[in-house]
Amino acid sequence: MTSSFVTPVTFGRDDVEMLSRETLYNGFFKMELYHFRHRLFNGGMSQMVTR
């Protein structure tokens, strides 16, 4: 009998590349703008993401 169980892909801290972080507002609350890239399931890196 063969097992068809596939180990799930796990991502960690090394799979995200922080490109920049900018504080947009720092008053009653803090708002920051992040630019980053993350590892894709195929092993490559994504395009820059802005959040």
Round to whole Å and give the CA distance between 14 and 43: 12
Please tell me the pTM assigned to this model: 0.73
CB 45 within 8 A of CB 37: yes
**Residues 21-33, mean pLDDT to the nearest whole number:** 97
Handedness of CA 14, 16, 42, 8 (dihedral sign): positive
Per-residue pLDDT band for 9 (boundaries 50, 70, 90) equals confident
